[in-house]
Amino acid sequence: MKRSRINAIMAEAEAFIRAFGLVLPPFAYWTPAEMQARRDRIGGIIRGRMGWDITDYGQGVFDALGLVLFTLRNGRPEDLRAGRGRCYAEKLLISRRDQISPMHRHYIKAEDIINRGGATLAVEVFGAAPDGSFDKGAGGTVHCDGQRRDHAPGEVLLLAPGESVTLMPTNWHAFWGEGGDVLVGEVSTVNDDATDNWFRDPIGRFAKVEEDEAPARLLVTDYAAWLE
């Protein structure tokens, strides 16, 4: 993705989030220079990879296959392993109309995916094979706002604003905005996008950035080059 496109998407995302009466934390709006100036006291942001993540999954077709994410908070893997402490994470996502977040599952993370507003959020779900791999014939069980829901293989759950689904690590899932753009909330155990995603098809997790202009804000994938 070109950096100019990323900058434009980020500006659109900020406006979309504000339209729902939500305001991101101050670090969401810091320029690269402002983050560098604070480098000695934002270790938690850097280590937790909190902040902007705009991805086309390395495929170069963001409008069809992509997602905007902002990690608001993220706990510590060592706390999760110990079973106490900061074992949680929270994100905001924007799933555009018919824009697929591709079929995947997690090794460790359990998550609640919540329609925070906008159109309908479509979530396609499958169970898993005994070894955890994708099985197109596997149905399963999820919980929607605390209520058990058994599903057929590839059933599409349609979540209206305010509704949610709880996905355990072995629940294969893909999602998109149905009929319009959706503001999505994610509340989960500690998030690690570098190692905890298992995609059905060979695909990248992060965008490959072409630097055609300076970044307006840093992506989490920029932190190593700019801040560490």
User: What are the sequence ranges of the domains in the chain?
Assistant: 3-226
Average pLDDT of every residue of the chain:
97
Cβ neighbour number for residue 172 with a 10 Å cutoff:
27
Q: How confident is the model at residue 158 (pLDDT cuts 50, 70, 90)?
A: very high
Average pLDDT over residues 20-27: 97
Q: Quick one: DSSP state of residue 2?
A: B
Give the CATH H-level superfamily of domain 3-226: Jelly Rolls (2.60.120.10)
Burial 77-91 (b: 16+ CB within 10 A, else e): beebeeeeebbebbb
What are the tens digits of pLDDT across the range 73-109? 999 999 999 999 999 999 999 999 999 999 999 999 9
pTM above 0.85, yes or no: yes
DSSP structure string for 66-134 = -EEEEEEEE--HHHHHHTSSS-EEEEEEEE-BT-BEEEEEESS--EEEEEEEEEEEEEEEE-B-TTS-B
What are the tens digits of pLDDT across the range 25-68? 999 999 999 999 999 999 999 999 999 999 999 999 999 999 99
Q: Supply the pLDDT for residue 228.
A: 82
